[in-house]
Chains A and B, each alone.
Chain A
Amino acid sequence: MSINHASAGDLVSLRDDIRDGKTSALAALDGYLARIDKQNPRLNAFHEVFADEARTAAAATDQALAAGNPVGPLAGVPIAVKDNIVTRIGRTTCSSRILENYRSPFDATVIDRLTTAGAILIGKTNMDEFAMGSSCETCAWGAVRNPWDTSAVPGGSSGGSAAAVAANLCAAALGSDTGGSIRQPAALCGIVGFKPSFGRISRYGLVAFGSSLDQIGPLTHSVRDAALLYQCMAGDDVHDSTCAPRPVEAVATTLEETPRSFRVGLPVQYRKGNAPAVDAAVNRAIEHFKSMGAEIVEIELPLTDVGISTYYVIAPAEACSNLARFDGIRYGHRTKAKSAVELFDLYAQSRAEGFGSEVQRRIMLGTYVLSAGYYDAYYRRALQIRRLIKQEFDRAFEKCDVILGPTSPTAAFSIGGLTDPLAMYMCDVYTVNTNIAGICGISLPAGFDESSGRQLPVGIQLQAQAFEESLLLKIARAYERAQGPRAHLPTTAA
């Protein structure tokens, strides 16, 4: 089988070029740093760039290669990290004033694993504050802009990571996905975004938002890159008891082995209220899958539109518990108000000063649904409906191997264009249930919406049963081959 090289700019090609001596790690890194210098003032994708540390690491990689020493599968590739994943170098702010100067005393497990594999940390990317948002407008360090159109949002919450990859400011990036925060920005920026199953990748060192929903994953130029990064990060971790003790298949090496026959499920509930360009992208994907001999089956997911309601009980409930740790005592912002003489006032004043309005709104919502008298009506009920959603997916996966649909109902909207919190929440209608059920999902570039006279990317999503990442990635790769290399930005991909 011939291997169709994904596209220039992808991580695996760069890795091979560095290993084969076609370029050096340092030269490649300097190219990325130069593009960051030029593009970041416009995009605000990075909060911090580790130029010196990265150049030192790149030089060390080049020396190791020159000496013929063994190097890891990611040797010399620069990777950007969402600012809610802790790193010893630089700060970890979650794009929040409450963590403005926080410096982690340890590296997250994923950082350990990637740097052990040879990856170079190029910087930390901006995000919606504490990963709460779908537009990167709640970032305390200013809105992130979509490289395809800087008047549009990049999506969120991993919007800085998505914009950085789309503008070729890094070989790949890490994000986190609690209800769509990897997949939706990937779709809106025209790149690949992969959320593995709950429990597949250690969350040790991921600042917790919704502990039963959060998952780290890669944002990449290609499915091949996503598979390699996934394989380097996945697997059990002594530091995270919620990480599943299951073997991880070496899918990066078996990625081209498309299943001989597979079934693609099309939920009827995924086909209403989408932008025409989004429906057209799904239709093109159906044709691609038909042409490779896949069976297309209609399925039912009637609880699709209950997902947002279920999510906005469970996620804020977990968030208000997790964010209780930010109290101005051990780390983070402490109020300087003279009035805060008692402990309660110190907590309440520090938190009110440090958290932005969307984070405060979610803490309030979570506190309310967990409060006495409301717990059963909201929280317990949402957890019961969660069980129903899971059962619905289980039934669907008896009829199909992957579920196909849009990632987001629309392409990127304008910055400032969605001011109603509830309307913003609706952006994630196709992505939240993946997290609620704990299954895996991937967003793939699928063309453009040109209806506004601008060229804005749209994405399709494939979902698969929990721990079926290998199957999902192989089918995603088959789609990518059929679709051709992803379109690059004419201005930034050079």
Chain B
Amino acid sequence: MSDATTPLGIDAVRHVAKLARLAIPEDRLPQLQGELIAILSHIEQLQSIDTTGLEPMAHPLTLSNRLAEDVPTPGMPIADLLRNAPATEGDFLVVPKVLQGESS
């Protein structure tokens, strides 16, 4: 009945790699597909458990929306934050052109 039982085809693996922003070479896809199918078929056991009416539990704490005091604190120096950047120009990060027209 559920989508979870649909077999994971090679096109789906390719699509997930794209969503995950991973340039996985074509020749590595079949092995990855096999491993994911094995893991997913194990995980399939979750479908047999009755979860009717159960509130999803996102984390174990009972806290929610904790707010910090609204007082300014010093930020980190820009030079420290840029030290790890692969490409910079002045106080800026260098990235490829974002708007290229047709794009995936």
Within 8 Å of chain A (Cβ to Cβ): is B27? no
**Is the Cβ of A363 less than 8 Å from the Cβ of B22?**
yes
Give B11 Cβ to nearest chain A Cβ, in Å: 13
A199-B61, A306-B45, A330-B85 known; A383 and B24 CB under 8 Å? no
In the complex, how many residues of chain B place their beta carbon closer than 8 angstroms to a beta carbon of chain A?
Answer: 58
Binds B, one of A164-172, A253-261, A374-382: A374-382
**Is the Cβ of A343 less than 8 Å from the Cβ of B20?**
no
**Is the Cβ of B45 less than 8 Å from the Cβ of A199?**
no
**Is the Cβ of B23 less than 8 Å from the Cβ of A212?**
no
**Is the Cβ of A343 less than 8 Å from the Cβ of B98?**
yes
**Alpha-carbon gap, A384 to B58, bound state (A):** 9
Report A-chain residues with C-beta under 8 Å of the C-beta of B61.
198-199, 242, 244, 438
Give A32 Cβ to nearest chain B Cβ, in Å: 30
Binds B, one of A49-57, A223-231, A386-394: A386-394
**Is the Cβ of B3 less than 8 Å from the Cβ of A374?**
yes
Residues 93-118 of A, flagged 1 when their CB comes within 8 A of B and 0 if not, give 00000000111011000000000000
**Is the Cβ of A198 less than 8 Å from the Cβ of B57?**
no
Within 8 Å of chain A (Cβ to Cβ): is B16? yes
Interface size grouping (class) on chain A: 35 or more
Residues 41-67 of A, flagged 1 when their CB comes within 8 A of B and 0 if not, give 000000000000000000000000000
Report A-chain residues with C-beta under 8 Å of the C-beta of B39.
312, 365, 421-422, 425
**Is the Cβ of A306 less than 8 Å from the Cβ of B49?**
yes
Residues 11-27 of B, flagged 1 when their CB comes within 8 A of A and 0 if not, give 01100111111111100
**Alpha-carbon gap, A313 to B56, bound state (A):** 13
Give A44 Cβ to nearest chain B Cβ, in Å: 25
Contact residues of B: prevailing secondary structure: loop
Within 8 Å of chain B (Cβ to Cβ): is A310? yes
- Picked from A312, A342, A352, A366, the residue with its CB within 8 Å of the CB of B96 is A342
**Alpha-carbon gap, A327 to B57, bound state (A):** 30
A332-B86, A365-B39 known; A320 and B20 CB under 8 Å? yes
Report A-chain residues with C-beta under 8 Å of the C-beta of B42.
308-309, 312, 422
**Alpha-carbon gap, A244 to B62, bound state (A):** 9
**Alpha-carbon gap, A158 to B91, bound state (A):** 37
**Is the Cβ of B47 less than 8 Å from the Cβ of A381?**
yes
**Is the Cβ of B80 less than 8 Å from the Cβ of A105?**
yes
- Picked from A199, A312, A333, A387, the residue with its CB within 8 Å of the CB of B56 is A387
Which of the listed residues B58, B59, B68, B81 has the most CB atoms from chain A within 10 Å of its own CB? Answer: B59
**Is the Cβ of B60 less than 8 Å from the Cβ of A466?**
yes
**Alpha-carbon gap, A267 to B19, bound state (A):** 41
Within 8 Å of chain B (Cβ to Cβ): is A349? yes
Give B58 Cβ to nearest chain A Cβ, in Å: 6
Report A-chain residues with C-beta under 8 Å of the C-beta of B68.
238, 241
A368-B36, A377-B4, A385-B49 known; A390 and B23 CB under 8 Å? no
Within 8 Å of chain B (Cβ to Cβ): is A296? no
Report A-chain residues with C-beta under 8 Å of the C-beta of B87.
334
Give A74 Cβ to nearest chain B Cβ, in Å: 27
**Alpha-carbon gap, A242 to B66, bound state (A):** 8
**Is the Cβ of B59 less than 8 Å from the Cβ of A105?**
no
For chain B, residues 46 to 90, give those with C-beta under 8 angstroms from any C-beta of chain A: 46-47, 49, 51, 54-61, 63, 66, 68, 76-77, 80-81, 83-87
List 19 additional A-B contacts (Cβ < 8 Å) besides A364-B16, A367-B19, A368-B40: A198-B61, A241-B66, A309-B42, A309-B45, A328-B86, A331-B84, A342-B100, A348-B21, A355-B22, A364-B17, A365-B40, A367-B16, A367-B20, A368-B8, A368-B36, A381-B47, A382-B46, A387-B57, A388-B51
**B residues at A contact (CB < 8 Å):** 2-4, 8, 12-13, 16-25, 32, 35-36, 38-40, 42-47, 49, 51, 54-61, 63, 66, 68, 76-77, 80-81, 83-87, 93, 95-98, 100, 103-104
**A residues at B contact (CB < 8 Å):** 101-103, 105-106, 197-199, 211-212, 238, 241-242, 244-245, 306, 308-310, 312-313, 320, 324, 327-334, 340-349, 351-352, 355, 360-361, 363-368, 371, 373-374, 376-378, 380-388, 390, 420-422, 425, 437-439, 466
Instruction: Report 6 cross-chain contacts, Cβ distance below 8 Å, ordered by A residue.
Output: A212-B60, A241-B68, A242-B63, A346-B96, A368-B36, A382-B46
